Amino acid sequence: MRKRAEKRLSQTKTIYEMQAEICSALAHPIRIQVLEILSNGEKTVGDLLEVLQVPKANLSQHLSVLKDVGVIQTRKEGLYHYMSLSIPKIKDACSIIRTVLIEKVANEEKKNIEIIRELKAQR
Amino acid sequence: MRKRAEKRLSQTKTIYEMQAEICSALAHPIRIQVLEILSNGEKTVGDLLEVLQVPKANLSQHLSVLKDVGVIQTRKEGLYHYMSLSIPKIKDACSIIRTVLIEKVANEEKKNIEIIRELKAQR
DNA sequence: ACATTAGTTTATATATTTAGAAACTAATGA
DNA sequence: TCATTAGTTTCTAAATATATAAACTAATGT
């Protein structure tokens, strides 16, 4: 396994590594929710905190994961930090993942029904 | 943090948790490549091994991650295990992620150009 | 200058992921 | 039956991710 510093040095990330990084950033329920909320427009960290019942420090860490990978951006105005999607297409990605999920559940349902049918036929 | 066993027990995953699980499965360069290869149709593990230069055991582990989350399926015929995408839409998800990536890179390019312009203006 | 608000950073303990080696299994063929 | 092929599983050590607490910063108001 390569060390993080080494990775940063080598610069030459493959397209697969970059894709994987984006997926890693999406790989947490809180971060998925953040993206969903932000897809309705710019929000402050406080706005997000009202919806997501998590400690402030924890949310802040998740936001920095999203920032690091470049899918959200920050604008500071006085005391408030406004967060927004920096890549609008990320919305599509999320909704496709959701669709995949729904198909998956449907798939499992179908399989279960088949199994039940077979079991009935055996009696 | 909840333990894996505990998670399995509680059954009641939120939609966000399920989405995050799918993203976790996509969050590795080898697994992304596997999905890309499989999007061209069914392949054996050996086929995959020829393209991806990784130890067999390692690939096998990655395949089981993809299987566990239900995005690929296996069909066994004699000595060979044929792998295929069980959710065709996963292809769209991957290609959207790739698009996101390309937009991100374009974004960064644009920002760099702006920075250079500003620096030049300051001289 | 001091307190408050909004948020970030750092430290730490625990959990999860990963790669690689070695042992294993299941199907085929000699 | 024994060897071979194709692949999986298990073990271990190292890397990474996560949650929580505590300390910190930066802007505003008094």
* Residues of chain B contacting A22 with CB distance shorter than 8 Å: 97, 100-101, 104
Q: What is the pLDDT of residues B58-100, one digit of tens each?
A: 999 999 999 999 999 999 999 999 999 998 888 888 888 888 7
Q: Which nucleotides of C are covered by protein (CB under 7 A)?
A: 5-11, 14-23, 26-28
Interface check A109 vs B, CB under 8 A = no
> What does the pLDDT read at residue B1?
42
Contact call for B27 and A32, based on CB within 8 A? no
> What does the pLDDT read at residue A123?
63
> What does the pLDDT read at residue B115?
67
> What does the pLDDT read at residue B90?
83
Check if residue B52 sits with its Cβ under 7 angstroms from strand C.
no
Contact call for B87 and A108, based on CB within 8 A? no
Q: Which residue is nearest to nucleotide C27 (CA to C1')?
A: B79
Distance B59 CA to C12 C1' (A): 34
pLDDT for B34 beyond 90 = yes
Going by C-alpha positions, the residue among B97, B45, B93, B41 that lies closest to residue B67 is: B45
Residue with tokens 């399920």: B18
Check if residue A119 sits with its Cβ under 7 angstroms from strand D.
no
* Mean pLDDT of the region B19-41: 96
pTM of the model: 0.85
Residues of chain A with pLDDT under 50: 1-10
Q: Where are the alpha helices (DSSP H) in B1-89?
A: 4-10, 15-26, 29-38, 45-51, 56-68
The Cα A75–Cα B19 span in angstroms is: 28
Report the DSSP beta bridge partners of residue B72: B85
Q: Angle, to 10 degrees, between the axis of helix B29-38 and the axis of helix A15-26?
A: 110
- B23: nearest CB among A97, A104, A107: A97
